[in-house]
A and B are shown apart, each in its own frame.
Chain A
Amino acid sequence: MIPHGIEVLWEQRDALLAGFATTLAITVLAAVCAGLLGLLLFALLISRVRAMAQAVAWLIDLMRCVPFMLFCYLIYYGLPSFGIVIGNLTAGIVALTIYNAAYIAELLRGGFVALPREGIEAGQAFGFHGWRLLVRIILPPVLLSSIPMLGNQMVQIIKDSAFLVIIAVQELTFAANEIQATYYVPFASFVCAMLLYWVLCLAVEGGVRAVLKVAEARR
């Protein structure tokens, strides 16, 4: 039973690896975009313009109450109602980006709140304000202290990417499900997919450890 499943998987390795590659590409692309959008939201969140900061805070809180799958449907089926038609892969990446950007902005805010005020006040005294204050004084320590949390969010993006199977994005879980349905080897194909997700997540954990080590050494 199980040897047969492994045999089938080996024959179908190209399909499985293509799914794995898609998951990897989606995850990396969405992580980069979500990181950038998250930084922008974070900047708005701590800005002096109260009304804007409040609006962004509300938006983030709302996003943290929405299941990703519902949000994904909302983007894919909802946008055409507003005349915006996008393909399923684009919709998936857009959904992953916006959803995770909200969480990233919130975790950066957490790092900002924990930051001692003296450094920022000193920066202001030296004439830093606006974007230069943000980029030169605030962001370096905030990003540094947020590295483990950012790693967790990256794992979250990997896991969320599996939800894209519902809008027929051909990622890893989709590939495993296709093989399972065609050759009837559910055990081998899904366990294999789980192990591949595990490899990705362990790689992220290893990456976080390596970055922390470098950061520690350069202090």
Chain B
Amino acid sequence: MGTGDYLALAAGAANTIAISLLAIAIGTPLGLGLALIRWGRLRGLDNVVGALVSLLRATPAVTLVLLLYFALPTLGLEVPRFAAGVATLALGSMAYNCEIWRAALLAFPHDQLDAARAFGMPRGLRFRLVVLPQIARAALPALVNEMTLLIKVSPAVAVIGVTEATRAAVRIGAATYNPIPPFLVALAIYVIVIGGFVATQRMLERRHRAGLFA
């Protein structure tokens, strides 16, 4: 492997990180939105969301990315590869995050809401100041776990030609007839990225605990 190969792998890693971060930034709040729809028991919509989440959780990322990339243009919507990749990962993570947020909401103690209501707090404020900070903390480990899963399925976007870390490694392996070294570099990239997420979660938890007992 030459310098150019390492640069190609670095560019692939940058793509992996960019796609993953964008998908997380989109999928996490969307998941919360769906969870709130189910939590609020909005008539009719509740079941639709439940079915959608179940379907998306059963769909392999490879299938979904092919669907978005090839089928949307037939409906008159041209999507660039990169956007199709981000949308695929965001949809999958939205479905999983919905279940995570919902579990945190269901475990939320109801008396706190009653107390806030007794003080005349309006609905939006109640959610923002009382519910959200606590469920975010409760859901954090599961959310970070889901983020690492998202990074692990992110190579799926390579099937529509997005050159992320895995595809970059495959290309170098094919060009040099020696697939092992680029694969090992790609492996190291994933270990570092996923390890980074887990370390950030531990740091946030530590900081919270420190604040709590200060």
Residue A194, interface by CB 8 Å? yes
Measured between C-beta atoms, what is the minimum distance from B185 to chain A in Å? 11
Q: Which residues of A contact B178 (CB under 8 A)?
A: 81
Task: Knowing A173-B66, A191-B67, say if A73 contacts B183 (CB, 8 Å).
Answer: yes
Q: Is the CB of B67 within 8 A of A190?
A: yes
Which residues of A are found within 8 Å of B153, using beta-carbon distances?
A: 67-69
Of the listed stretches B54-62, B111-119, B130-138, chain A binds B54-62
A67 and B154 contact, Cβ closer than 8 Å, known pairs A73-B170, A190-B71, A194-B63: yes
Q: Judge if B187 is at the interface, Cβ distance under 8 Å.
A: yes
Q: Is B105 an interface residue (CB 8 A)?
A: no
Given B58, B166, B190, which contacts A200 in the complex, CB threshold below 8 Å? B58
- Evaluate contact between A163 and B62: CB separation under 8 angstroms: yes
Partner of A77, one of B63, B154, B179: B179
Task: Give per-residue flags for B142-185: 1 if the beta carbon is below 8 A from chain A beta carbons, else 0.
Answer: 00000000011111101100000010011001000011100100
- Supposing A73-B179, A186-B74 touch, asked if A176 and B63 sit within 8 A by C-beta, the answer is yes
Closest CB of chain B to A53's CB: distance in Å? Answer: 21
A190–B70 alpha-carbon span in the complex (Å): 9
Cβ of B100 to closest chain A Cβ, rounded Å: 14
Name the interface size band of chain A: 35 or more
Q: Is the CB of B58 within 8 A of A202?
A: yes
- Chain B hits for A190, CB < 8 A: 63-64, 66-67, 70-71
Chain A positions 129 through 169: 1 when the CB is less than 8 Å from some CB of chain B, otherwise 0: 00000000000000000000000000100111111011000
Chain A residues numbered 155-210 whose CB sits less than 8 Å from any CB in chain B: 155, 158-163, 165-166, 172-173, 176-177, 180, 184, 186-187, 190-191, 193-195, 197-198, 200-202
Per the CB 8 Å criterion, the residue count for chain B at the interface is 38
Taking the complex as formed, is B195 at the interface, i.e. its CB lies under 8 A from any CB of chain A?
yes
Are B152's CB and A68's CB within 8 A?
Answer: yes
Query: Is the CB of B107 closer than 8 A to any CB of chain A?
Result: no
Can you show 7 pairs from A to B with CB atoms below 8 A apart?
A66-B187, A69-B156, A77-B170, A155-B58, A159-B61, A186-B66, A200-B58
A67-B153, A70-B186, A201-B58 provided; 15 other pairs, C-beta below 8 A? A65-B195, A67-B154, A67-B166, A74-B187, A159-B59, A162-B62, A166-B158, A173-B66, A186-B70, A190-B71, A191-B67, A194-B64, A197-B63, A201-B54, A201-B57
